[in-house]
Amino acid sequence: MLKVDALYKNFSDKKVLRGINFTVPSGQIAGLVGKNGAGKTTIFHSILNFVGFEGEITFDGKKLTEKHYSQIGYLPEERSLMPKLTVFEQVRFLANLKGVSTKEVQKRLGEWLERLQVKGKPEDKIKSLSKGNQQKIQLICTLLHNPKLIILDEPFSGLDPINTDLLKQVILDEKKRGATIIFSDHDMTNVEEVCDDLIMISNGKVVLNGDIQAVRNSFGLTRIFVRSDWTKEQLAGLPHVRRVSQTKSGSYRLELDDEKYGTELFETITKGEYVQTFDQQPPTLNEIFKIKAGENK
């Protein structure tokens, strides 16, 4: 389990982190989200002891030190491969630093290249690979040593939808293995699909923390999706409906001032008869992100 307690960090007179607290249990995935400059990368660098900080960070009950580096897999936001090396040389170099023998690298590398569907061979130069395949090689460097703690800074950046889905499955497989995983992303869809918990940072503080569905539900079931013979104008005229918009699928999306009026609207719209869709939902993570990020502009 990763535990961050009362984490503070200043750069000169700029307060970047102001009392960050959260935990990520083993075998769980947490999504760390926030606007640019919110402090996400600084949190990662604090966990990794790349920067000094005030507070306490522990993993499995012990203070994180350099001795733990062989148990950590870190994918930085800024990719940093050596273009003149071959794929094998690059992976071997970093794996050896993590205590993995060259013989073991030879065994595992082929499995990972196949698993991530890398279009490249171990003897190919890094610079000969596409950016997407270079990113996969960096991910292999991050995971080949079977780390207990995995930190991924914007792992889906630049990947197409097919490779994004491939990476999501790899992350979920690492969760099944029992790893503790935390990653940052600006796409709330990725966070919602992969993560167990959400940690939202704003202005150097944690503003939301908890199970993703519980976080969504805490904002109320104030969105109703309707597909019926009612027009947009008729729906907008109903009591307690603040706004109506049409989705790309053709249904209407109603925003309520209070979730408790959902039953009343259901009875009004359906009139006891069949309608294709009537679905009451909480706001999406993307909406919640905009709401909370907007509180501290």
Residues 6+ apart with CB under 8 A from 44: 32, 74, 151, 153, 182, 184
| Average pLDDT along the chain | 94
- State the Cα–Cα distance between residues 219 and 71, nearest whole angstrom: 38
For the entire predicted model, the pTM comes to 0.90
Pick the closest to residue 32 from 249, 264, 274, 197 (CA basis): 197
pLDDT of 296 reads 54
- State the Cα–Cα distance between residues 60 and 64, nearest whole angstrom: 9
Domains of the chain: 2-211 (3.40.50.300), 220-281 (3.30.70)
Outline where 144-271 has alpha helix (H). Answer: 161-177, 188-194, 212-217, 232-236, 262-270
In tens, the pLDDT along 121-156 reads 999 999 999 989 999 999 999 999 999 999 999 999
In tens, the pLDDT along 82-112 reads 999 999 999 999 999 999 999 999 999 999 9
Residues 6+ apart with CB under 8 A from 18: 8, 203, 204, 205
